[in-house]
Chain A
């Protein structure tokens, strides 16, 4: 009887200690269909520039992250009402989005690029005019750019898709003339397909931001901003960029599988450095 009492008190104590000692866990929503910023590898692990930056910020600022795949169409609504704590999905900071969510300071600048079929002979100016059809994902800044052209009276048509790969497929099949999407993904597509070529970059200078619920009820934005700053100071930010931008997808996945143990152990610098080294060899 006495042993059982002492035993259960010890277990209770350990449990309470675990509760107090455990770090806060925040849920992160991401449309994991967009390499190299966020995607799922063949085993289902979620990786990408955005996701690893968030994970590193978590380690540096002392909180755990639980990353969930989310559909792009509802990501702003759901983070906005607080169903998920943080959004990390290559989201450009835009006024209409700021009505639903609060953005962090910019953590990445991106431009749009135009993909065409290599044998079509189109350059960037012609591809975006003379009655051609350009494909883009619904609700993206690329789609918004083409809509702006249409409003300005340019003779171009917009074809919207739920996901970018479907636009790329249509381009290959000849249903549309060009695809507009962010530069890193466009580069990756051009590298993966022999018949596609990147014919130009539009310097839209978009700023990506992480986002949280309106009013930031959990006080996450200061943590995120401080974390990004820290990452840049210790050089991990540049290493992660070198690992993810313009590299071969399967190499990055292998690098991540080999290096994630370092991050789990709390070594942000080592993780980023090894990622950069392995992904670029």
Chain B
């Protein structure tokens, strides 16, 4: 029993802050980069759209672990750029998240019924005004459910940062169970892994609950995700 308490304490004091920091950093980076890309993909000129599509394909197509190692060891070996492990993980996973998030926002913008744009233009708004006051607020509301998905996904991806030694939950768990094998026995490794899984579960649940609350606050009945209205 004391092992469980000790393990939780170590995980929460040493691993958890970094995991939370990394998750928030990734969501922020992904948002900052992903939204402009989505916007460009919907409203931009064709060559810009192609660029965005290429970016999105690249960062969605490479496995997260490979990206992390490329940023950390690859940059160091090839260009002599030495980044701290946390920064490498933040950049690699952040760029990847921006690719996924750009698709979320693009889908949300495009699923706002085209009748909205028509109506806005017909009362005299310019395209930009229509986008800003009519389309985007609705798109924001529509993007919350898939964005909740992205949060869950990113939270688990942070465990990959342990591959380059970032001291987050998974790395801390490894430290604990490599010691446990000699003090209590190798079977207890499963106990430690179970506890870590539990912590991730709580984090996922808490985040999802928060985002669901936001979604409910903003919901307008009758204006959920619909397909494009044919004219």
Which residues of A come within 8 Å of B, CB atoms?
Answer: 32-35, 39-42, 44, 68-71, 73-74, 77-78, 81-83, 163-166, 168-169, 172, 188-189, 191-193, 249-250
Q: Does B144 contact A (CB under 8 A)?
A: no
Q: In the complex, what distance in Å separates the CA atom of A68 from the CA atom of B186?
A: 25
Q: Does B146 contact A (CB under 8 A)?
A: no
Partner of A35, one of B6, B76, B182, B185: B182
17 contacts between A and B (CB under 8 A): A40-B176, A41-B179, A69-B165, A69-B175, A71-B164, A74-B163, A74-B165, A77-B73, A81-B77, A165-B178, A169-B186, A169-B190, A189-B182, A192-B184, A192-B186, A193-B186, A249-B182
- Residues in A with CB closer than 8 Å to B69 are 74
Given that A78-B76, A81-B76, A83-B82 are known contacts, is A165 also in contact with B177, CB under 8 Å in the complex?
A: yes
Question: How large, as a class, is the contact surface on chain B?
Answer: 20 to 34
Partner of A71, one of B10, B14, B76, B162: B162
Partner of B187, one of A39, A73, A82, A169: A169
Quote the shortest CB–CB distance from A172 to chain B (angstroms).
6
User: 1/0 contact trace for B156-190 toward A, CB 8 Å?
Assistant: 00000011110100010011111111111111011
B171 touches A69 (CB 8 A): yes
Partner of A33, one of B72, B163, B178, B184: B178
Which residues of B come within 8 Å of A, CB atoms?
Answer: 6, 10, 14, 69, 72-73, 76-77, 80, 82, 162-165, 167, 171, 174-187, 189-190
B10 touches A74 (CB 8 A): no
- Residues in B with CB closer than 8 Å to A168 are 181, 186
B163 touches A73 (CB 8 A): yes
Quote the shortest CB–CB distance from A74 to chain B (angstroms).
6
- Residues in A with CB closer than 8 Å to B189 are 165-166, 169
B179 touches A249 (CB 8 A): yes
- Residues in B with CB closer than 8 Å to A81 are 76-77, 80, 82
Quote the shortest CB–CB distance from A196 to chain B (angstroms).
8
9 new A-B pairs (CB below 8 Å) besides A78-B73, A165-B180?
A: A32-B175, A42-B10, A71-B171, A168-B181, A169-B190, A188-B182, A192-B183, A193-B186, A249-B182
Q: In the complex, what distance in Å separates the CA atom of A73 from the CA atom of B163?
A: 8
